[in-house]
A and B are shown apart, each in its own frame.
Chain A
Amino acid sequence: MALEGPAQTFNYMLLGYGVILGCIAVLLASMVARYRSLMRDTRMLDELEAQGKR
């Protein structure tokens, strides 16, 4: 039996793209979360140092 056309693999293509973009998005989200946490720590340290000087 001859094949009538290319295989129907559109959903797998979407899944593949989703996985790759998802991994990059998780990396970015992790970097943003850690940066925010560091900025919070920096502000807290500024306040503690200012209290120490008073």
Chain B
Amino acid sequence: MGDVQRVFYFHVASGWVGALAFLVAAVSGGIYLARGKRRWDAVGLASVEIGLAFTLANLISGSVWARPIWNTWWTWDPRLVTASVMELVYVAYLLLRQGIEDPDRRARFGAVYAIVGFLSVPLTFLSIRIFRTIHPVVVGNNDPTAQGTFDMTPPMLQTFFVSLAVFTLLYGVLLWHRVRMQSLAETVEERKLKLLSA
């Protein structure tokens, strides 16, 4: 593969953060539905936004990696298709949210959508095990049902885990700031409404 193999550490870590972000959004949605506190809606929205950016990075870097290895930028492989569908599901989440004016209704919709939309995440993860594909299996590659394999040497594994840890930390920091910004946005919105009604 040559040097392009090194994209792997960022490519997989981006995909991991995308999946984690969508999981956090689904869990936040569940907590919002149970408790009704708007802060959980802010967590869900923030997490989806971050997840979208990292999933997009994962998709495009995968395409860049595929060009010299598969000799194509894109192929209708089950993993590529399910990952793209997952991205579009969450793009729709943001677009549909914008169409709802009532904040409580918007938050309820966002919570239910994040939970239902999360189905696309395990489908993407399992697609390389369920369907015939040219995409290698990285996690649990000793699975006998897996079509492709990706063996790593101990130094590669260490680098891989450091990369996962750093990206997870980055996600945590971004989520923290994005949630705080959402709280500020809600405060500004409330103040504007108060000023207009006065």
Contact = CB atoms under 8 A, between A and B. Distances in A.
Contacts of A38: 181, 184-185, 188
Nearest to A23: B57
B54 A23 contact: yes
Contacts of A19: 57, 60-61, 64
A13 B10 contact: no
Q: Which bracket fits the contact residues of A?
A: 20 to 34
A33 B1 CA distance: 39
Contact of A27 (B1, B2, B50, B188): B50
Interface string B152-182: 0000000000000000001000100110010
A24 B64 contact: no
Nearest to A5: B2
Interface of B is mostly: helix
Interface in B49-84: 49-50, 53-54, 56-57, 60-61, 64-65, 67-68
Given A12-B4, A15-B64, A27-B174, A45 B195 contact: yes
Interface of A is mostly: helix
B15 to A, nearest CB: 11
Interface string A12-25: 11011101101110
Contact of B61 (A7, A9, A16, A49): A16
Contacts of B170: 24
Contacts of B5: 9
Given A20-B14, A38-B188, A6 B1 contact: yes
12 contacts: A8-B2, A9-B2, A10-B4, A13-B2, A16-B11, A23-B57, A24-B170, A31-B178, A31-B181, A34-B181, A45-B188, A52-B195
Given A27-B53, A31-B181, A45-B192, 13 more contacts: A6-B3, A7-B1, A7-B68, A9-B2, A9-B3, A9-B5, A10-B3, A10-B4, A12-B68, A24-B53, A34-B185, A38-B184, A41-B192
